[in-house]
Structure 1
Amino acid sequence: MSYEPPNPPANLPTEVVNTLNDFAPERLRDAANYAEELAEHKEREARLEEESGEDKVEERPDDLPDDVPSKATTTIKEINDNRYYYWQWREGEKIKSKYKGPVNPDE
């Protein structure tokens, strides 16, 4: 270990350096532990925000009607031996549907 004091990082504000220089060794260790934990917390928050942002970038399908939410999925319903596509989504406790078209457009 050197007898010379360490050089602070160039990007650390002077006020922070001066404050740290006034701290006793035990308080410096507390500040260092807190700074490390805070840095990990902020990195985790940024990562979670980035991941949630990726989820929100879902594109709305071109054939989705304006009155159907983007979270809707397609389902097939059979009525009188004919099969049809429906948009389907949940609103609270209810499941909503909207007609999309026949499964086989030639029918």
Structure 2
Amino acid sequence: MTADERPSVPAELDRTGCEALRELEGRDASTLRAAGRYLEELAAWTERRGADDEGDEGTHATADADSIALPDRVPKRASVSVTTIGGTEYRYYQWREGDEIRSETVRR
């Protein structure tokens, strides 16, 4: 990459990651370096915590709806949160129908 070439967004990022990076594109170099340091520390913390949290009570993770088979009564547009409580996994589905917010919890 030459001095005139702008870096490209990493291909392995999902849509949300790309949007987050695009929010930072107009910031000054000092802010970008501070954000980079924070992200490196956050990545290290996330890796350390990943091993510690397995089987932990009350951990929450938002799941990708494409990776989870939805119950018949839950629409594909529903958001899915996965929670483990007391070693039991629960999936919490939430979606909007008109002006109402619908939800369903399923024990796995």
Q: TM-score, normalization: structure 2?
A: 0.42
More contact order relative to length (CA 8 Å, sep ≥ 6): 2
Q: Which structure would you say has the larger Rg?
A: 1
Q: TM-score, normalization: structure 1?
A: 0.42
